[in-house]
Chains A and B, each alone.
Chain A
Amino acid sequence: MYIGAIVTIAGGGHMGEPKFPMSVRTAGPTPARNSQLLFDTPAAFGEVLGETVLNRVVKRLRASGIDQVSVISEGARGKVAAIDQFVLGGNFWSAWDSVVSQYLHHGIELLLLVRLGPYVEINVDEFVRFHRERATPITQAYGNTGPLDIVLVEADSLRGGHTSYRSRFSTLLSQRARFRCRAYVNNLSEPEDFRKLVNDSLRSVCELRPLGQEVSPGVWLGDDAVVDELALIDAPAYIGADARVGASCVISGSSAIEEGCEIDCGSTIENCTVFPGTYIGMGLHVGNALVSGARLFSLTRNIEVAFGDRRLIANTLASRRQITNATTRFLRPVRTLSTARISSRVSKVASMVSNRWLG
Protein backbone atom coordinates (compact mmCIF):
# COMPACT_ATOMS: atom_id res chain seq x y z
CA MET A 1 0.00 0.00 0.00
CA TYR A 2 1.25 3.43 -0.96
CA ILE A 3 1.09 5.67 2.14
CA GLY A 4 2.11 9.31 2.41
CA ALA A 5 2.53 11.17 5.68
CA ILE A 6 2.27 14.88 6.43
CA VAL A 7 3.81 15.96 9.71
CA THR A 8 2.78 19.47 10.77
CA ILE A 9 4.43 21.65 13.36
CA ALA A 10 2.43 24.54 14.72
CA GLY A 11 4.19 27.89 14.73
CA GLY A 12 4.96 30.14 17.65
CA GLY A 13 2.80 33.21 17.30
CA HIS A 14 -0.59 31.67 16.83
CA MET A 15 -0.36 28.31 18.49
CA GLY A 16 -3.32 29.19 20.70
CA GLU A 17 -5.72 29.06 17.77
CA PRO A 18 -6.87 25.75 16.36
CA LYS A 19 -5.26 25.49 12.94
CA PHE A 20 -5.49 21.91 11.93
CA PRO A 21 -8.77 20.27 10.92
CA MET A 22 -8.16 17.62 13.56
CA SER A 23 -8.58 20.34 16.13
CA VAL A 24 -12.32 20.18 15.53
CA ARG A 25 -12.94 18.05 18.55
CA THR A 26 -15.82 17.05 20.68
CA ALA A 27 -13.78 16.29 23.77
CA GLY A 28 -10.27 16.20 25.11
CA PRO A 29 -7.60 18.81 25.66
CA THR A 30 -7.18 21.82 23.41
CA PRO A 31 -4.65 21.43 20.62
CA ALA A 32 -1.23 23.05 20.43
CA ARG A 33 -0.84 25.93 22.84
CA ASN A 34 1.89 28.43 23.49
CA SER A 35 3.20 26.23 26.27
CA GLN A 36 4.36 23.80 23.59
CA LEU A 37 7.08 26.28 22.81
CA LEU A 38 10.26 25.38 24.55
CA PHE A 39 12.60 28.36 24.79
CA ASP A 40 10.65 30.00 21.95
CA THR A 41 11.03 26.97 19.69
CA PRO A 42 8.33 24.36 19.04
CA ALA A 43 8.87 21.34 21.27
CA ALA A 44 9.15 19.21 18.11
CA PHE A 45 12.57 20.78 17.49
CA GLY A 46 13.68 20.08 21.06
CA GLU A 47 16.50 17.59 21.35
CA VAL A 48 15.76 14.44 23.34
CA LEU A 49 18.79 12.26 24.03
CA GLY A 50 20.69 13.16 20.91
CA GLU A 51 17.92 13.69 18.39
CA THR A 52 14.96 16.03 17.94
CA VAL A 53 11.44 14.82 18.57
CA LEU A 54 10.63 15.58 14.91
CA ASN A 55 13.53 13.47 13.63
CA ARG A 56 12.50 10.59 15.84
CA VAL A 57 8.89 10.76 14.64
CA VAL A 58 9.99 10.86 10.99
CA LYS A 59 12.35 7.92 11.49
CA ARG A 60 9.58 5.98 13.15
CA LEU A 61 7.27 6.64 10.21
CA ARG A 62 9.97 5.54 7.77
CA ALA A 63 10.56 2.38 9.77
CA SER A 64 6.83 1.65 9.58
CA GLY A 65 7.04 1.62 5.80
CA ILE A 66 5.63 5.07 5.01
CA ASP A 67 6.70 5.89 1.46
CA GLN A 68 6.52 9.68 1.42
CA VAL A 69 7.05 11.99 4.40
CA SER A 70 6.58 15.76 4.24
CA VAL A 71 6.96 18.24 7.07
CA ILE A 72 5.05 21.51 7.18
CA SER A 73 6.25 24.01 9.75
CA GLU A 74 4.28 27.17 10.38
CA GLY A 75 7.13 29.29 11.54
CA ALA A 76 10.18 27.59 12.97
CA ARG A 77 12.89 26.07 10.85
CA GLY A 78 14.84 23.03 11.91
CA LYS A 79 17.07 20.27 10.65
CA VAL A 80 15.30 17.04 9.85
CA ALA A 81 16.62 13.97 8.12
CA ALA A 82 14.94 11.38 5.91
CA ILE A 83 12.07 13.49 4.62
CA ASP A 84 10.93 14.14 1.08
CA GLN A 85 10.18 17.82 1.56
CA PHE A 86 10.22 20.48 4.27
CA VAL A 87 7.72 23.27 3.73
CA LEU A 88 8.08 26.44 5.73
CA GLY A 89 4.49 27.58 5.46
CA GLY A 90 3.87 31.29 5.53
CA ASN A 91 0.30 30.38 4.66
CA PHE A 92 -0.26 27.08 6.38
CA TRP A 93 -3.41 26.04 4.56
CA SER A 94 -2.16 26.71 1.05
CA ALA A 95 1.04 24.77 1.89
CA TRP A 96 -1.07 21.92 3.27
CA ASP A 97 -3.37 21.87 0.23
CA SER A 98 -0.38 21.87 -2.12
CA VAL A 99 1.30 18.92 -0.37
CA VAL A 100 -1.97 16.93 -0.39
CA SER A 101 -2.38 17.73 -4.07
CA GLN A 102 1.15 16.47 -4.83
CA TYR A 103 0.48 13.25 -2.91
CA LEU A 104 -2.75 12.63 -4.78
CA HIS A 105 -1.00 13.17 -8.11
CA HIS A 106 1.62 10.63 -7.08
CA GLY A 107 -1.11 8.06 -6.53
CA ILE A 108 -0.97 7.89 -2.73
CA GLU A 109 -3.63 5.53 -1.40
CA LEU A 110 -3.63 6.49 2.25
CA LEU A 111 -2.74 9.78 3.87
CA LEU A 112 -1.38 9.80 7.41
CA LEU A 113 -1.63 13.19 9.12
CA VAL A 114 0.44 13.74 12.24
CA ARG A 115 0.57 16.94 14.24
CA LEU A 116 3.43 17.67 16.66
CA GLY A 117 2.72 18.34 19.46
CA PRO A 118 2.42 15.19 21.32
CA TYR A 119 4.97 12.41 21.05
CA VAL A 120 3.09 9.19 20.33
CA GLU A 121 4.61 5.77 19.76
CA ILE A 122 1.74 4.60 17.63
CA ASN A 123 1.92 1.27 15.88
CA VAL A 124 1.26 2.39 12.31
CA ASP A 125 0.66 -1.15 10.99
CA GLU A 126 -2.02 -1.76 13.59
CA PHE A 127 -3.54 1.66 12.90
CA VAL A 128 -3.71 0.99 9.14
CA ARG A 129 -5.15 -2.49 9.70
CA PHE A 130 -7.87 -1.06 11.97
CA HIS A 131 -8.65 1.63 9.41
CA ARG A 132 -8.95 -0.91 6.60
CA GLU A 133 -11.17 -3.23 8.66
CA ARG A 134 -13.55 -0.39 9.51
CA ALA A 135 -13.69 0.69 5.87
CA THR A 136 -14.31 4.33 6.85
CA PRO A 137 -12.85 7.24 4.88
CA ILE A 138 -11.15 8.59 7.97
CA THR A 139 -9.85 7.21 11.29
CA GLN A 140 -8.51 9.19 14.22
CA ALA A 141 -6.30 7.81 16.99
CA TYR A 142 -7.43 8.29 20.59
CA GLY A 143 -5.30 8.10 23.71
CA ASN A 144 -6.31 7.77 27.36
CA THR A 145 -6.90 11.50 27.70
CA GLY A 146 -8.73 12.09 24.44
CA PRO A 147 -8.12 12.43 20.71
CA LEU A 148 -4.57 12.45 19.41
CA ASP A 149 -3.54 14.51 16.43
CA ILE A 150 -3.02 11.45 14.25
CA VAL A 151 -5.44 10.69 11.43
CA LEU A 152 -5.58 8.29 8.50
CA VAL A 153 -7.53 9.42 5.43
CA GLU A 154 -8.42 7.49 2.30
CA ALA A 155 -6.92 9.44 -0.58
CA ASP A 156 -9.89 8.60 -2.82
CA SER A 157 -12.25 10.38 -0.48
CA LEU A 158 -10.30 13.62 -1.04
CA ARG A 159 -10.25 13.29 -4.83
CA GLY A 160 -12.85 15.03 -6.99
CA GLY A 161 -14.99 18.04 -6.07
CA HIS A 162 -14.26 21.72 -6.49
CA THR A 163 -13.65 22.75 -2.90
CA SER A 164 -10.26 22.85 -1.23
CA TYR A 165 -8.79 19.68 0.30
CA ARG A 166 -9.10 21.32 3.67
CA SER A 167 -12.88 21.70 3.42
CA ARG A 168 -13.26 18.18 1.99
CA PHE A 169 -11.26 16.91 4.93
CA SER A 170 -13.40 18.84 7.39
CA THR A 171 -16.60 17.33 6.04
CA LEU A 172 -15.14 13.83 6.41
CA LEU A 173 -14.40 14.34 10.09
CA SER A 174 -17.96 13.56 11.14
CA GLN A 175 -17.59 10.04 9.67
CA ARG A 176 -14.39 9.23 11.49
CA ALA A 177 -13.75 5.92 13.18
CA ARG A 178 -11.95 5.94 16.52
CA PHE A 179 -8.80 3.93 16.99
CA ARG A 180 -7.98 3.33 20.62
CA CYS A 181 -4.22 3.77 20.88
CA ARG A 182 -2.58 2.01 23.83
CA ALA A 183 0.91 3.16 22.96
CA TYR A 184 3.12 5.51 24.96
CA VAL A 185 1.89 9.11 24.69
CA ASN A 186 3.58 12.24 25.98
CA ASN A 187 1.67 15.46 25.29
CA LEU A 188 4.81 17.62 25.46
CA SER A 189 2.51 20.47 26.45
CA GLU A 190 4.46 21.54 29.53
CA PRO A 191 8.21 21.73 30.23
CA GLU A 192 7.75 18.93 32.80
CA ASP A 193 6.55 16.68 29.97
CA PHE A 194 9.88 17.15 28.25
CA ARG A 195 11.72 16.01 31.36
CA LYS A 196 9.31 13.11 31.69
CA LEU A 197 10.08 11.99 28.14
CA VAL A 198 13.82 11.97 28.89
CA ASN A 199 13.25 10.16 32.17
CA ASP A 200 10.93 7.58 30.57
CA SER A 201 13.43 6.95 27.81
CA LEU A 202 16.40 6.54 30.14
CA ARG A 203 14.34 4.16 32.28
CA SER A 204 13.10 2.24 29.19
CA VAL A 205 9.45 3.11 29.86
CA CYS A 206 9.06 4.08 26.20
CA GLU A 207 10.68 2.91 22.98
CA LEU A 208 12.72 6.09 22.47
CA ARG A 209 16.40 5.17 22.79
CA PRO A 210 19.30 7.51 23.49
CA LEU A 211 21.61 8.16 20.56
CA GLY A 212 24.96 6.83 21.68
CA GLN A 213 26.61 3.91 23.34
CA GLU A 214 25.64 2.47 26.69
CA VAL A 215 29.06 2.45 28.34
CA SER A 216 27.78 1.11 31.65
CA PRO A 217 24.25 0.13 32.72
CA GLY A 218 22.08 3.21 32.30
CA VAL A 219 24.87 5.56 31.19
CA TRP A 220 24.92 6.57 27.52
CA LEU A 221 27.71 8.48 25.83
CA GLY A 222 27.48 10.12 22.42
CA ASP A 223 30.36 10.20 19.92
CA ASP A 224 33.43 12.08 21.14
CA ALA A 225 31.87 12.91 24.50
CA VAL A 226 34.55 13.56 27.12
CA VAL A 227 33.93 12.85 30.78
CA ASP A 228 36.67 13.62 33.26
CA GLU A 229 37.76 10.63 35.27
CA LEU A 230 36.98 12.54 38.47
CA ALA A 231 33.39 13.24 37.41
CA LEU A 232 30.59 11.15 38.85
CA ILE A 233 27.80 10.01 36.54
CA ASP A 234 24.89 8.53 38.41
CA ALA A 235 22.83 6.21 36.17
CA PRO A 236 20.60 6.69 34.35
CA ALA A 237 22.20 9.58 32.51
CA TYR A 238 22.98 10.73 29.00
CA ILE A 239 26.02 12.66 27.79
CA GLY A 240 25.62 13.71 24.15
CA ALA A 241 28.11 13.84 21.30
CA ASP A 242 31.00 16.28 21.71
CA ALA A 243 29.84 17.17 25.22
CA ARG A 244 32.40 17.73 27.96
CA VAL A 245 31.95 17.04 31.65
CA GLY A 246 34.69 18.49 33.83
CA ALA A 247 36.41 17.20 36.93
CA SER A 248 34.38 16.73 40.11
CA CYS A 249 31.07 17.22 38.33
CA VAL A 250 28.11 15.16 39.45
CA ILE A 251 25.44 14.24 36.91
CA SER A 252 22.43 12.58 38.52
CA GLY A 253 18.64 12.21 38.52
CA SER A 254 18.15 11.01 34.92
CA SER A 255 19.87 14.08 33.56
CA ALA A 256 20.59 14.58 29.88
CA ILE A 257 23.53 16.65 28.69
CA GLU A 258 22.90 17.12 25.00
CA GLU A 259 25.31 17.56 22.10
CA GLY A 260 28.17 20.04 22.40
CA CYS A 261 27.46 21.07 26.00
CA GLU A 262 30.18 21.85 28.47
CA ILE A 263 29.78 21.30 32.19
CA ASP A 264 32.61 23.03 33.97
CA CYS A 265 34.47 21.66 36.96
CA GLY A 266 32.67 20.98 40.19
CA SER A 267 29.14 21.57 38.95
CA THR A 268 26.21 19.40 39.94
CA ILE A 269 23.47 18.63 37.43
CA GLU A 270 20.47 16.95 38.98
CA ASN A 271 17.25 16.05 37.19
CA CYS A 272 18.00 18.42 34.30
CA THR A 273 18.02 18.55 30.56
CA VAL A 274 20.82 20.70 29.21
CA PHE A 275 20.05 21.52 25.58
CA PRO A 276 22.72 21.48 22.85
CA GLY A 277 25.54 24.00 22.97
CA THR A 278 25.08 25.13 26.55
CA TYR A 279 27.89 26.04 28.91
CA ILE A 280 27.37 25.55 32.66
CA GLY A 281 29.93 27.44 34.72
CA MET A 282 32.17 26.19 37.50
CA GLY A 283 30.84 25.01 40.84
CA LEU A 284 27.17 25.54 40.09
CA HIS A 285 24.25 23.47 41.27
CA VAL A 286 21.58 23.09 38.60
CA GLY A 287 18.61 21.12 39.83
CA ASN A 288 15.21 20.28 38.37
CA ALA A 289 15.55 22.52 35.36
CA LEU A 290 15.80 22.80 31.60
CA VAL A 291 18.75 24.85 30.41
CA SER A 292 19.31 26.22 26.93
CA GLY A 293 21.94 28.77 26.00
CA ALA A 294 21.81 31.54 28.57
CA ARG A 295 18.33 30.60 29.77
CA LEU A 296 17.23 28.34 32.56
CA PHE A 297 13.70 27.16 33.16
CA SER A 298 13.22 26.13 36.78
CA LEU A 299 10.66 23.34 37.05
CA THR A 300 10.45 23.91 40.81
CA ARG A 301 9.50 27.56 40.53
CA ASN A 302 7.99 27.42 37.06
CA ILE A 303 9.91 30.47 35.89
CA GLU A 304 12.51 31.20 33.26
CA VAL A 305 15.67 33.02 34.27
CA ALA A 306 17.92 34.68 31.69
CA PHE A 307 21.62 35.02 32.42
CA GLY A 308 23.70 37.93 31.21
CA ASP A 309 26.89 36.57 32.74
CA ARG A 310 28.73 34.09 30.53
CA ARG A 311 30.60 32.72 33.52
CA LEU A 312 27.41 31.26 34.94
CA ILE A 313 25.29 29.88 32.10
CA ALA A 314 25.79 30.67 28.42
CA ASN A 315 26.19 29.32 24.93
CA THR A 316 29.27 27.15 24.64
CA LEU A 317 30.54 29.28 21.76
CA ALA A 318 30.14 32.56 23.69
CA SER A 319 31.87 31.05 26.67
CA ARG A 320 34.77 29.70 24.56
CA ARG A 321 35.16 33.12 22.93
CA GLN A 322 35.40 34.73 26.33
CA ILE A 323 38.04 32.25 27.42
CA THR A 324 40.04 32.82 24.22
CA ASN A 325 39.87 36.59 24.77
CA ALA A 326 40.81 36.17 28.38
CA THR A 327 43.79 34.00 27.47
CA THR A 328 45.01 36.55 24.94
CA ARG A 329 44.63 39.39 27.40
CA PHE A 330 46.14 37.33 30.17
CA LEU A 331 49.21 36.26 28.25
CA ARG A 332 50.03 39.64 26.70
CA PRO A 333 50.39 41.62 29.95
CA VAL A 334 52.54 38.92 31.50
CA ARG A 335 55.00 39.12 28.59
CA THR A 336 55.08 42.84 28.06
CA LEU A 337 53.93 44.56 31.22
CA SER A 338 54.61 44.24 34.87
CA THR A 339 51.92 42.34 36.76
CA ALA A 340 51.07 45.54 38.61
CA ARG A 341 49.61 46.94 35.41
CA ILE A 342 47.20 44.11 34.86
CA SER A 343 43.80 45.52 35.61
CA SER A 344 41.74 43.87 38.28
CA ARG A 345 39.23 42.72 35.68
CA VAL A 346 41.85 41.04 33.58
CA SER A 347 43.39 39.43 36.60
CA LYS A 348 39.98 38.16 37.63
CA VAL A 349 39.41 36.65 34.20
CA ALA A 350 42.94 35.35 34.17
CA SER A 351 42.41 33.63 37.47
CA MET A 352 39.32 32.02 36.04
CA VAL A 353 41.27 30.81 33.03
CA SER A 354 44.12 29.51 35.13
CA ASN A 355 41.64 27.73 37.37
CA ARG A 356 39.97 26.15 34.39
CA TRP A 357 42.96 25.37 32.24
CA LEU A 358 45.93 25.18 34.46
CA GLY A 359 44.37 23.29 37.33
Chain B
Amino acid sequence: MENWINYLTVTLLTVALFGLILADSRRITVIAYGVVVLLLFSINIQFWSFGFALSKLLTGIMAMLILALTPTEETNVTSINPGTGRIFNIVSFGFCIILVLFTINRTSGFLAIELDQSIPALLILLCGFILLGISQESYRIIIGLLTVLIGFEVLYSAIEQSLLINGLLTAVELLIALVGSYLLTPINEGEEE
Protein backbone atom coordinates (compact mmCIF):
# COMPACT_ATOMS: atom_id res chain seq x y z
CA MET B 1 0.00 0.00 0.00
CA GLU B 2 1.10 3.54 -0.69
CA ASN B 3 0.25 4.89 2.73
CA TRP B 4 0.82 2.96 5.98
CA ILE B 5 -2.28 4.49 7.60
CA ASN B 6 -4.42 2.62 5.11
CA TYR B 7 -3.51 -0.69 6.79
CA LEU B 8 -5.36 0.62 9.82
CA THR B 9 -8.22 2.00 7.72
CA VAL B 10 -8.68 -1.29 5.85
CA THR B 11 -8.64 -3.21 9.15
CA LEU B 12 -11.32 -0.92 10.58
CA LEU B 13 -13.28 -1.21 7.35
CA THR B 14 -13.19 -5.01 7.58
CA VAL B 15 -14.52 -4.82 11.14
CA ALA B 16 -17.31 -2.47 9.98
CA LEU B 17 -18.17 -4.89 7.15
CA PHE B 18 -18.38 -7.74 9.65
CA GLY B 19 -20.69 -5.47 11.66
CA LEU B 20 -22.83 -4.89 8.58
CA ILE B 21 -23.14 -8.61 7.92
CA LEU B 22 -23.88 -9.52 11.54
CA ALA B 23 -26.15 -6.56 12.37
CA ASP B 24 -29.46 -7.66 13.85
CA SER B 25 -31.11 -4.27 14.10
CA ARG B 26 -31.61 -1.35 11.76
CA ARG B 27 -29.61 0.95 14.03
CA ILE B 28 -26.49 -1.22 13.93
CA THR B 29 -26.87 -1.68 10.17
CA VAL B 30 -27.06 2.08 9.65
CA ILE B 31 -24.06 2.73 11.93
CA ALA B 32 -21.97 0.03 10.21
CA TYR B 33 -22.91 1.33 6.76
CA GLY B 34 -22.07 4.89 7.82
CA VAL B 35 -18.66 3.80 9.14
CA VAL B 36 -17.95 1.98 5.85
CA VAL B 37 -18.81 5.11 3.84
CA LEU B 38 -16.66 7.35 6.08
CA LEU B 39 -13.64 5.02 5.96
CA LEU B 40 -13.98 4.75 2.22
CA PHE B 41 -13.94 8.54 2.00
CA SER B 42 -10.72 8.65 4.03
CA ILE B 43 -9.13 6.35 1.43
CA ASN B 44 -10.64 7.95 -1.67
CA ILE B 45 -9.53 11.43 -0.68
CA GLN B 46 -5.90 10.31 -1.04
CA PHE B 47 -6.42 9.43 -4.71
CA TRP B 48 -9.26 11.61 -5.98
CA SER B 49 -9.97 15.31 -5.83
CA PHE B 50 -11.58 16.50 -2.60
CA GLY B 51 -14.81 17.45 -4.39
CA PHE B 52 -15.17 14.07 -6.09
CA ALA B 53 -14.49 12.08 -2.93
CA LEU B 54 -16.84 14.35 -0.98
CA SER B 55 -19.63 13.84 -3.52
CA LYS B 56 -19.32 10.06 -3.06
CA LEU B 57 -19.38 10.49 0.72
CA LEU B 58 -22.45 12.71 0.61
CA THR B 59 -24.24 10.30 -1.72
CA GLY B 60 -23.50 7.37 0.57
CA ILE B 61 -24.67 9.29 3.66
CA MET B 62 -27.80 10.54 1.90
CA ALA B 63 -28.66 7.02 0.74
CA MET B 64 -28.12 5.75 4.29
CA LEU B 65 -30.31 8.52 5.76
CA ILE B 66 -33.10 7.90 3.24
CA LEU B 67 -33.22 4.26 4.31
CA ALA B 68 -32.72 5.02 8.01
CA LEU B 69 -35.64 7.44 8.03
CA THR B 70 -38.00 5.04 6.27
CA PRO B 71 -40.79 4.09 8.66
CA THR B 72 -41.03 0.32 8.96
CA GLU B 73 -42.92 -2.00 11.26
CA GLU B 74 -39.98 -4.23 12.08
CA THR B 75 -37.05 -3.16 14.23
CA ASN B 76 -35.17 -6.42 13.99
CA VAL B 77 -33.86 -6.75 10.46
CA THR B 78 -32.51 -10.25 10.55
CA SER B 79 -34.13 -13.60 10.99
CA ILE B 80 -30.90 -15.57 10.85
CA ASN B 81 -30.21 -18.13 13.52
CA PRO B 82 -28.09 -16.29 16.12
CA GLY B 83 -25.73 -19.24 16.51
CA THR B 84 -25.03 -21.17 13.32
CA GLY B 85 -26.30 -18.39 11.06
CA ARG B 86 -23.77 -15.92 12.41
CA ILE B 87 -20.94 -18.43 12.20
CA PHE B 88 -21.88 -19.13 8.59
CA ASN B 89 -21.85 -15.40 7.78
CA ILE B 90 -18.49 -14.89 9.51
CA VAL B 91 -16.96 -17.86 7.68
CA SER B 92 -18.40 -16.69 4.34
CA PHE B 93 -16.91 -13.24 4.68
CA GLY B 94 -13.68 -14.77 6.02
CA PHE B 95 -13.38 -16.78 2.81
CA CYS B 96 -14.03 -13.60 0.82
CA ILE B 97 -11.19 -11.81 2.66
CA ILE B 98 -8.86 -14.71 1.87
CA LEU B 99 -9.98 -14.65 -1.78
CA VAL B 100 -9.32 -10.91 -2.02
CA LEU B 101 -5.90 -11.16 -0.37
CA PHE B 102 -4.77 -14.03 -2.62
CA THR B 103 -5.91 -12.41 -5.86
CA ILE B 104 -5.30 -8.75 -5.09
CA ASN B 105 -2.02 -8.30 -6.97
CA ARG B 106 -3.45 -9.74 -10.14
CA THR B 107 -6.69 -7.77 -9.80
CA SER B 108 -4.89 -4.50 -9.10
CA GLY B 109 -2.59 -5.13 -12.04
CA PHE B 110 -5.54 -5.79 -14.35
CA LEU B 111 -7.39 -2.69 -13.21
CA ALA B 112 -4.21 -0.61 -12.91
CA ILE B 113 -5.21 0.87 -9.55
CA GLU B 114 -3.50 1.03 -6.16
CA LEU B 115 -3.94 -1.67 -3.51
CA ASP B 116 -5.17 1.05 -1.14
CA GLN B 117 -8.32 1.38 -3.23
CA SER B 118 -8.71 -2.08 -4.72
CA ILE B 119 -8.65 -4.00 -1.40
CA PRO B 120 -11.43 -1.99 0.30
CA ALA B 121 -13.47 -1.84 -2.90
CA LEU B 122 -13.35 -5.62 -3.38
CA LEU B 123 -14.08 -6.29 0.29
CA ILE B 124 -17.13 -4.00 0.15
CA LEU B 125 -18.25 -5.54 -3.14
CA LEU B 126 -18.07 -9.09 -1.77
CA CYS B 127 -19.72 -8.06 1.50
CA GLY B 128 -22.56 -6.64 -0.58
CA PHE B 129 -22.87 -9.89 -2.51
CA ILE B 130 -23.01 -11.85 0.78
CA LEU B 131 -25.75 -9.54 2.06
CA LEU B 132 -27.69 -10.01 -1.17
CA GLY B 133 -27.19 -13.76 -1.05
CA ILE B 134 -28.12 -14.45 2.58
CA SER B 135 -30.68 -11.77 3.40
CA GLN B 136 -34.38 -12.52 3.54
CA GLU B 137 -35.46 -9.06 4.69
CA SER B 138 -36.10 -6.35 2.13
CA TYR B 139 -34.21 -3.74 4.18
CA ARG B 140 -31.02 -5.76 4.26
CA ILE B 141 -31.34 -6.61 0.56
CA ILE B 142 -31.48 -2.90 -0.31
CA ILE B 143 -28.50 -2.24 1.98
CA GLY B 144 -26.69 -5.13 0.23
CA LEU B 145 -27.43 -3.64 -3.17
CA LEU B 146 -26.15 -0.23 -2.10
CA THR B 147 -23.04 -1.87 -0.62
CA VAL B 148 -22.35 -3.63 -3.94
CA LEU B 149 -22.76 -0.32 -5.75
CA ILE B 150 -20.44 1.70 -3.49
CA GLY B 151 -17.80 -1.01 -3.82
CA PHE B 152 -18.18 -1.05 -7.59
CA GLU B 153 -18.13 2.76 -7.76
CA VAL B 154 -14.70 2.91 -6.10
CA LEU B 155 -13.29 0.47 -8.66
CA TYR B 156 -15.06 2.06 -11.60
CA SER B 157 -14.36 5.68 -10.68
CA ALA B 158 -10.69 4.82 -10.32
CA ILE B 159 -10.54 3.46 -13.88
CA GLU B 160 -13.14 5.59 -15.68
CA GLN B 161 -12.65 9.31 -15.32
CA SER B 162 -15.80 10.46 -17.12
CA LEU B 163 -17.68 12.84 -14.84
CA LEU B 164 -21.00 12.19 -16.58
CA ILE B 165 -20.96 8.44 -16.04
CA ASN B 166 -19.81 8.87 -12.43
CA GLY B 167 -22.53 11.45 -11.86
CA LEU B 168 -25.13 9.09 -13.32
CA LEU B 169 -23.87 6.27 -11.09
CA THR B 170 -24.27 8.55 -8.09
CA ALA B 171 -27.79 9.41 -9.20
CA VAL B 172 -28.58 5.69 -9.59
CA GLU B 173 -27.34 5.01 -6.05
CA LEU B 174 -29.59 7.72 -4.63
CA LEU B 175 -32.56 6.60 -6.71
CA ILE B 176 -32.12 3.01 -5.53
CA ALA B 177 -32.19 4.25 -1.93
CA LEU B 178 -35.33 6.27 -2.72
CA VAL B 179 -37.06 3.38 -4.49
CA GLY B 180 -35.99 1.07 -1.67
CA SER B 181 -37.47 3.46 0.86
CA TYR B 182 -40.67 3.66 -1.23
CA LEU B 183 -40.91 -0.13 -1.29
CA LEU B 184 -40.17 -0.51 2.41
CA THR B 185 -42.76 2.01 3.55
CA PRO B 186 -45.52 -0.04 5.20
CA ILE B 187 -49.03 0.06 3.80
CA ASN B 188 -51.62 1.29 6.31
CA GLU B 189 -54.51 -1.12 6.72
CA GLY B 190 -56.96 1.53 5.54
CA GLU B 191 -54.96 1.98 2.33
CA GLU B 192 -54.74 -1.71 1.48
CA GLU B 193 -56.81 -2.73 -1.53
On whether the two chains bind one another, the answer is no
